[in-house]
Structures are given as C-alpha cells and as structure tokens.
Structure 1
Amino acid sequence: MYVDADACPVKEEVYRVARRYGLAVHVVSNAFMMIPQGEPLIRRVIVEEGPDVADDWIAERAGPKDVVITNDIPLASRCLKSGAQVIGAKGDPFTADSIGSALAGREIGEHLRSMGLNTSGPKPFGQADRSKFLQALDTAVVKARRR
C-alpha cells in the first residue's frame, strides 16, 4: 500500500488494515512524519521537497497488486493507469469510470478560484467517513490481492 501522507487523516486505519493482512505500507511525504515504531512492514519514505515529488514516487511504483490512498486526483489518475486500486480518504474509490469526472470537477474548481470566486471546499472529515474508508480499503485490498 502507498499512502500520500501529507494531510491524510486515515493513516491509523491504513496501519490497522495492513497489520490484519500482513501488507507493507509506504508512508510517503516530503517531510518527517511519525509512523508506528518497531513495525518493519510500515515504512516512512521522505522524498525531496518540490511539487509532485511524492506523487511521482508513488506513481512510479504503484501497480496492479497495490492500493494507493490519496485525495490527489491527478495522482489517482496516474495510479489507475498502472492498474492500482485507488481510494480517497473519505472512502470513495477512484475508478476508470469516475476519474474523468473527478479531473473535470477539479479543473472547474481551479478555474473558478482563479477568477476570484470562493468555492466551498470539502466537507469536514467525520466518523462516518472513517467507517466508509475502512470498508473501501478492505474491499480494495481483497481485490488487489486477487490480481
């Protein structure tokens, strides 16, 4: 599993699922981030500073037997192209069918913000999102392991 770790609110849930299945987790960021100690399957990866460096690191490695956790839509698109399962932190899976509209929505939001319009942004992260994420992650892991 690969975690786009900056601003990821579900790292503990990822660790829990990884322990249950005995899976390696790469927690990728461009700054030091705490991870559980003494667990060889949970690895911290610190990449150089810069735009998309962490995304590039993940996209270059993710493949059909992997699960990627990210809210970054362009990264999700890149990982889907390599065959990985991709889930957002609120438990919404990115799929070949949904990524086009997600990319378009992102572009529209960027355009509106560049025109000075205030967009609402995402809803606050809650317990229902955490639950939905755990269910989606479990489903994605099972699917990836079958490949």
Structure 2
Amino acid sequence: MNTSQPTALEVLVDADACPVKEEIYKVAGRHGVPVTLVANSYMRFPRGGLIRLQVVDDSFDAADDWIAEAAHPKAVVITADILLAQRCLDAGASVLAPTGKPFTDASIGGAVATRRIMADLRASVGTKGDGPGAGGHFGGPAPFSKAYRSRFLQALHAALEQRCRGR
C-alpha cells in the first residue's frame, strides 16, 4: 500500500491493451479528474488538459507494479488484470474492468480462484491429443461490444462520483 497517499481523485489506467481509453478521457474530462496512462511504451494521447503518460520499462509486470504502488483510496483504477485489481483493492482504490464490471473486495477472491483454475487447466489439458502440458484452447473474452462501452461509461461515472463523495 502506498504510504504517502495522495488525497486527490485520479484515474490510473493499465493502458497497453485498454480498449476504453477514449471513454476514460471523456468521463474524466467531464469530472475534471486527472488521468495517468501507464504503459510499457509511448502511445498517442490527447495533449494538454489532465491526461499524462507514464512510460515504464518493459520488464514483466512493470506497469502493474507502478499502478499498484500509485493506487490509493481516491484512485479509480482501470484494468482487466485480476491480480493487479486485487493489489489495487488492497490499497483502497476502486477498480473497474474495461467492460464496466467493478472488482470489489467481495468478488475478487472468486475471480482470482477462477483465474488460477483456468491457468491450471490450460497447463494440463492437451490440444488435439498433444498430451499434458500442451495447453488447451478455452476461447477468449467475448468481442468488445457497444454494450460494454456503455456499461463502462456508466460505471466510471458512478465510481468517480462515489470517490468524490469520499466513499
């Protein structure tokens, strides 16, 4: 947990594969809330205003580590990474998936357990008779839809309102 926690409301974004950056800019801008995009390499983003880019090195989990260290009770973190979500919740942050689904203290344990089970299955189930350890194909996430974008917009607005009120 970050011991020198800022008191200002902010949005921290696990930005490398985030499909809702434009939506984040829109909602955060409406609320006057600064946004920090955290990525392993430079990316385009709107200049001026309240958006900044934090480029970290390309080592494994460097962006996650930076975000987890920066997370605090007034932060809203956007990530699809379940383990990062857990670390940010532990720091007191509000956490949303890009689909608009909130990660909460009540839901994170089940999400972590499901992630572990799926990782174990992928490691032990062969593909087309390739044998143990070959890794199975279990599909992937559903295509990103307009419904997800709409739900995300609503969820981010609600999370910022809630953090603004100090809950």
With the length of structure 2 as denominator, give the TM-score of the two structures.
0.86
> Quick check: 1:113 aligned with 2:103?
no
State the partner residue of 1:29.
Answer: 39
Greater gyration radius: 2
Equivalent residue of 2:105, what SS? coil
2:77 aligned to 68, 72, 75, which one? 68
> Quick check: 1:131 aligned with 2:140?
no
State the partner residue of 2:7.
Answer: none
CA distances 1:13-58 after superposition (whole Å, capped 9, x unpaired): 000011101111000001111110222x100110011111001101
Q: 1:6: how far off?
A: 1.0
In 2, the alpha carbon distance for the partners of 1:60 and 1:8 equals 19
> Quick check: 1:77 aligned with 2:96?
no
Equivalent residue of 2:106, what SS? coil
In 2, the alpha carbon distance for the partners of 1:143 and 1:82 equals 17
Give percent identity, aligned residues only.
54
For the Cα contact (< 8 Å) 1:26–1:43, is it kept in 2? yes
Q: Deviation above 4 Å: which 4+ runs of structure 1?
A: none
In 2, the alpha carbon distance for the partners of 1:42 and 1:56 equals 20
With the length of structure 1 as denominator, give the TM-score of the two structures.
0.97
C-alpha RMSD over aligned residues: 0.7
State the partner residue of 2:6.
Answer: none
In 1, the alpha carbon distance for the partners of 2:55 and 2:90 equals 24
Unaligned runs of 5+ in 1: none
Equivalent residue of 1:98, what SS? helix
